[in-house]
Amino acid sequence: MARRQSPAPVADTTPFTENIVDIDVISEMEGSFLEYAYSVIYSRALPDARDGLKPVQRRILYMMSDMGLRPDRGHVKSARVVGEVMGKLHPHGDAAIYDAMVRMAQDFSLRLPLIDGHGNFGSLDDGPAAPRYTEARLAPAALTLTNHLDEDVVDFVPNYDNQLTQPDVLPAAFPNLLVNGATGIAVGMATNMAPHNLVEVISAARHLIANPDATLEDLMRFVPGPDLPSGGRIVGLDGIRDAYATGRGSFKTRAKVEVEQLSARRTGLVVTELPYMVGPEKVIEKIKDAVNAKKLTGISDIVDLTDRKHGLRLVIELKNGFNPTAVLQQLYRYTPMEDSFGINNVTLVDGQPQTLGLVDLLSVYVNHRIDVVRRRTIFRLGKKKDRLHLVEGLLIAIVDIDEVIQIIRSSDEAAAARERLMSIYDLTEIQANYILELRLRQLTKYSRIELEKEQDQLRREIAELEAILNSEELLRSLVSDELAAIAEEHGTPRRTILLESEAVSPTVAAELAGSKKGKPAPLALEIADDPCWAILTASGQIGRTSNQEPLAEAGPRNKHDVFTTVVKTSARGEIAAITSQGRMLRLQVMDMPVLPPVAGLPNMAGGVPAKDFLTLLKGETLVAFAPLDEVLAIGTAQGVVKRVQPDYPLNREDWEVIALKDKDFVVGVAPAAADDTELVFLTAQAQLLKFAASAVRPQGRTAGGMAGIKLAAGDRVTFFGAVRAQDEAAVVVTIAGTNGALPGTAPGTAKVTAFSEYPVKGRATAGVRAHRFLKGEDTLLLAWAGHGPAKASSSAGVARSLPQEHGRRDGSGIPLSQAVDVVGAAMAWPEAAAEA
Question: What whole-number distance in Å separates Cα of residue 373 and Cα of residue 375?
Answer: 5
Per-residue confidence (pLDDT) for residue 518, from 0 to 100? 42
State whether 43 and 172 are in the same domain.
yes
Question: What whole-number distance in Å separates Cα of residue 288 and Cα of residue 534?
Answer: 35
Q: With contact defined as beta carbons under 8 Å apart, do 166 and 62 qualify? A: yes
Name which of 236-240, 310-314, 822-826 the model is least confident about: 822-826
Of 160, 82, 153, residue with least CA distance to 115: 82
Per-residue confidence (pLDDT) for residue 830, from 0 to 100? 40
DSSP string, 204-259: HHHHHHH-TT--HHHHHTT--S---TT--EEE-SHHHHHHHHHSEEEEEEE-EEEE
Stretch 512-541: mean pLDDT: 67
Q: With contact defined as beta carbons under 8 Å apart, do 218 and 210 qualify? A: no
Question: What whole-number distance in Å separates Cα of residue 771 and Cα of residue 779?
Answer: 10
State whether 707 and 584 are in the same domain.
yes
List for the chain the helix, strand, coil content (%; round to 5): 35, 25, 45
The CATH code of the domain that includes 607 is 2.120.10.90
Burial of 797 (0-12, 13-18, 19+ CB in 10 A): middle
| Dihedral sign from CA coordinates of 681, 682, 685, 687 | positive
- Which of 198, 223, 238 corresponds to the end of one domain? 198
State whether 274 and 387 are in the same domain.
no
The CATH code of the domain that includes 85 is 3.90.199.10
Q: Give a yes or no: residue 366 inside a domain.
A: no
Position 605 pLDDT exceeds 90: no
Per-residue confidence (pLDDT) for residue 559, from 0 to 100? 58
Of 489, 461, 471, residue with least CA distance to 370: 471
- Per-residue pLDDT of 709-757, as tens digits, reads 999 998 999 999 998 887 777 888 888 888 877 766 667 788 888 888 8
Question: What whole-number distance in Å separates Cα of residue 219 and Cα of residue 384?
Answer: 38
- Measured CA to CA in angstroms, residue 473 lies from 148, 362, 374, 466, 711 at distances of 22, 18, 12, 13, 98
Residues 6+ positions from 722 with CB-CB distance below 8 Å: 633, 670, 671, 672, 677, 678, 679, 680, 693
State whether 451 and 566 are in the same domain.
no
Per-residue confidence (pLDDT) for residue 613, from 0 to 100? 80
State whether 795 and 735 are in the same domain.
yes
Active-site annotation holder among 38, 42, 62, 133: 133
| Dihedral sign from CA coordinates of 93, 96, 98, 101 | negative
State whether 578 and 661 are in the same domain.
yes
The bridge status of strand 135-138 relative to strand 156-158 is unpaired
- Per-residue pLDDT of 36-45, as tens digits, reads 666 666 667 8
State whether 778 and 680 are in the same domain.
yes
Of 46, 31, 57, residue with least CA distance to 353: 46
Per-residue confidence (pLDDT) for residue 36, from 0 to 100? 66
The bridge status of strand 687-692 relative to strand 677-683 is antiparallel
Question: What whole-number distance in Å separates Cα of residue 275 and Cα of residue 277?
Answer: 6
3-state secondary structure of 6: coil
Query: What is the distance between the terminal CA atoms of the chain, rounded to a whole angstrom?
Result: 124
Told to judge if 133 belongs to the known catalytic residues of this protein, a careful annotator would answer yes
Per-residue confidence at 523, pLDDT binned at 50, 70, 90?
A: low
Q: Give a yes or no: residue 223 inside a domain.
A: no
- Per-residue pLDDT of 179-188, as tens digits, reads 999 998 877 7
Q: Give a yes or no: residue 308 inside a domain.
A: yes
Stretch 119-144: mean pLDDT: 94
Residues 6+ positions from 693 with CB-CB distance below 8 Å: 633, 643, 672, 674, 675, 677, 678, 679, 722
User: pTM to 2 decimals?
Assistant: 0.75
Number of residues that this document lists for the chain: 836
State whether 424 and 564 are in the same domain.
no
- Per-residue pLDDT of 361-408, as tens digits, reads 999 999 999 999 999 999 999 999 999 999 998 888 888 888 888 888
Question: What whole-number distance in Å separates Cα of residue 312 and Cα of residue 407?
Answer: 78
State whether 826 and 700 are in the same domain.
yes
Per-residue confidence at 793, pLDDT binned at 50, 70, 90?
A: very low
How crowded is residue 710: how many other Cβ atoms within 10 Å of its Cβ?
A: 17
State whether 543 and 671 are in the same domain.
yes
Of 720, 833, 715, residue with least CA distance to 778: 715
- Which of 342, 367, 389 corresponds to the end of one domain? 342
Per-residue confidence (pLDDT) for residue 581, from 0 to 100? 92
Name which of 37-41, 312-316, 806-810 the model is least confident about: 806-810
Name which of 220-234, 239-253, 578-592, 598-612 the model is least confident about: 598-612
Q: Give a yes or no: residue 228 inside a domain.
A: no
- Per-residue pLDDT of 683-699, as tens digits, reads 999 999 999 888 888 88
| More confident of the two residues 455 and 400 | 455
Cα angle 697, 700, 704; round to 5: 80
- Identify residue 621 by its one-letter amino acid code: T
Per-residue confidence (pLDDT) for residue 796, from 0 to 100? 43
Per-residue confidence (pLDDT) for residue 669, from 0 to 100? 92
3-state secondary structure of 66: helix
Q: Give a yes or no: residue 525 inside a domain.
A: no
Question: What whole-number distance in Å separates Cα of residue 716 and Cα of residue 663?
Answer: 11
Position 570 pLDDT exceeds 50: yes
- Per-residue pLDDT of 407-446, as tens digits, reads 888 888 889 998 988 988 888 999 999 988 888 777 666 7
Cα angle 440, 446, 452; round to 5: 150
Q: Give a yes or no: residue 526 inside a domain.
A: no
Q: Give a yes or no: residue 210 inside a domain.
A: no
Q: Say how many domains are in the chain.
A: 4
Query: pLDDT exceeding 70 applies to what percent of the chain?
Result: 84
The CATH code of the domain that includes 478 is 1.10.268.10
The side-by-side arrangement of strands in the sheet containing 233-235 is 182-185, 190-193, 338-344, 248-254, 233-235, 497-499
Question: What whole-number distance in Å separates Cα of residue 815 and Cα of residue 266?
Answer: 47
DSSP string, 562-595: -EEEEEEEETT-EEEEEETTSEEEEEEGGGSPBP
Question: What whole-number distance in Å separates Cα of residue 717 and Cα of residue 18?
Answer: 124
Element (H, E) at 511: helix 506-513
DSSP string, 405-450: HHHHHH-SSHHHHHHHHHHHH---HHHHHHHHH--GGGGGG--HHH
Q: With contact defined as beta carbons under 8 Å apart, do 205 and 219 qualify? A: no
Stretch 785-810: mean pLDDT: 52
3-state secondary structure of 146: helix
Residue/partner pairs of 644-648 with CB below 8 Å, 24 or more apart:
644/698, 644/699, 644/700, 644/701, 645/698, 645/699, 645/700, 645/701, 647/700, 647/701, 648/576, 648/584, 648/586, 648/701
Residue 657 — φ and ψ, nearest 5°? -110, -10
State whether 317 and 387 are in the same domain.
no
Position 799 pLDDT exceeds 70: no
Question: What whole-number distance in Å separates Cα of residue 626 and Cα of residue 721?
Answer: 13
Q: With contact defined as beta carbons under 8 Å apart, do 792 and 798 qualify? A: yes
Position 273 pLDDT exceeds 70: yes
DSSP string, 778-810: -EEEEEEEEE---EE-TTS-EE--PPB--S-TT
Q: Which residues pair with 563 in a beta bridge?
A: 537
- Which of 342, 358, 384 corresponds to the end of one domain? 342
Question: What whole-number distance in Å separates Cα of residue 17 and Cα of residue 254?
Answer: 71
Query: pLDDT exceeding 90 applies to what percent of the chain?
Result: 47
Q: Give a yes or no: residue 632 inside a domain.
A: yes
Question: What value does the mean pLDDT of the chain take?
Answer: 84
Question: What whole-number distance in Å separates Cα of residue 499 and Cα of residue 501?
Answer: 5
- Measured CA to CA in angstroms, residue 545 lies from 103, 321, 605, 606, 753 at distances of 50, 14, 13, 11, 33
Per-residue confidence at 814, pLDDT binned at 50, 70, 90?
A: low
Which range of residues forms the domain containing residue 660? 531-835
State whether 48 and 127 are in the same domain.
yes
Position 817 pLDDT exceeds 60: no
